[in-house]
Chains A and B, each alone.
Chain A
Amino acid sequence: MKVEAVQYGDRKVYSVAAFNQGVAVWLARLPTVWVEGEIAELRRQERWASVFFTLRDPGGGASVVVQMPRGQFDGLRLDLRDGERVHVYGRPELYEQRGELRLRALSIERFGAGDLLAAVERLKEKLAAEGLFAPERRRPLPFLPRKIGLVTGNDAAAKRDVLTVITTRFPPANVLVAETYVQGPKAAAAVVESLSALCQADCDVIVVARGGGSLEDLLPFSDERLVRSIASCPVPVVSAVGHEQDTPLCDLAADVRASTPSLAGKLVVPDLAELQARLDRARDGLRRGARRAFERRDERLETLRGRLRGAPLLAVERKRARLEHAAGRLRALSPHATLERGYAIVRSGSAIVRSAAAVSPGDPIAVEVADGSFGARVE
């Protein structure tokens, strides 16, 4: 097609319509492709020849307006709703009147559960390869959190469960609740925003709680941005999303995974009563230990004193025994034993008579025999 231009001297000038037409011609040369995205703002009216919707990347990223003739759209019988993931087969087209780019759809396919799972699986592999789910990245939860952040749906049973368990176990707990969308196309972005708001508010641990739901319901919790924001959250995150058998990717990126919201509440605060009891037991043990240490010293000291008291007597006793022993030996050496055999000791005055010449007749002498002594006179 030839586009008309007006010549002003050496300048070639197009009208807007001509410009748009020119661009449209260029665009028409581009190939037909498949585009994946989420449906938003679906507009279908009986008096319109076409159906319009916005196709955008999950989490509210880039978007493009899709146009499809109404008859063709109805013929697909897809009954599409906002938030659904689809594959659109089409080509770029310019709405010439306004110079707006559109994706003209030739066909639309709903992105099925199997495809969703496969997409999640691909994302999982990619994030795992980046090390986002590495066990060593997981941080321990604070033992006594000063402020607990809770991201949950408004009026959700999950919220009630977490709060009940937290306040029962640890009544003085300080919980900041961020109610947000937990399903649908806005959920992922909303949860990301809540996480950062709770961090800003100085929470030192954050619980993300959502009850069970369909695969599609839980899909936002496998959203790449949400998973990344959990992994990079400056404080530890407990993920309690879905039921035991569901494993949304946020569970893998979180520091701790709780199989239920109640369990998340349990993990995040200690049991005050139990804590008190443990402290009391520790204190009792400490006192018992101190007393026992004293008792042991006391015993040792008393034993020492007993030995000390006994020691001098023992020493004296031993000396006495030695003395007696010496006395015995002394006695064995005395002349007494000789007298027993019939000998006698004769004394004149105090001197022992050793020679007959030492006495004269008439001298008094004393005679000592074994059992005593008697006096006599020399003849």
Chain B
Amino acid sequence: MTQPSFEQAQKELERIVERLERGDVDLDETLALWQRGEELYRLCRVRLDGAQGRIEELARRATNNNESG
């Protein structure tokens, strides 16, 4: 199965939270949904941190280039 994109993962996470908060889910399913939610959160977190790191790195490199050139 291909990994969902950040936006897809976040949207699914939102749906899970809303369902859990509505409270019309049975206990076993609650647990399963919660685990899936945590998984999606980690996925989003990794994507976000990775992209932000890349941006900062590029910005730093561009600044260095300008100052040396």
* A residues at B contact (CB < 8 Å): 283, 287, 290-291, 294, 297-298, 300-301, 304-305, 307-308, 311-312, 314-316, 318-319
Contacts and interface: CB of A to CB of B under 8 A. Distances in A.
B15 to A, nearest CB: 10
B51 A308 contact: no
Interface of B: 6, 10, 13-14, 16-17, 20-21, 23, 25, 27, 30-31, 34, 37-38, 41, 44-45, 48, 51-52, 55, 59, 62
B31 A307 contact: no
7 contacts: A294-B51, A294-B55, A297-B6, A308-B20, A308-B37, A308-B41, A311-B21
A311 B20 contact: yes
Contacts, number: 59
B41 to A, nearest CB: 5
Given A290-B55, A300-B10, A304-B14, A314 B23 contact: yes
Contact of A308 (B38, B48, B52): B38
A301 B48 contact: yes
A304 B12 CA distance: 11
A304 B34 CA distance: 12
Contacts of A314: 20-21, 23
A332 to B, nearest CB: 25
B14 A315 contact: no
Contact of A318 (B6, B23, B37, B41): B23
A290 B52 CA distance: 8
A307 B20 CA distance: 9
A319 B27 CA distance: 9
A304 B17 contact: yes
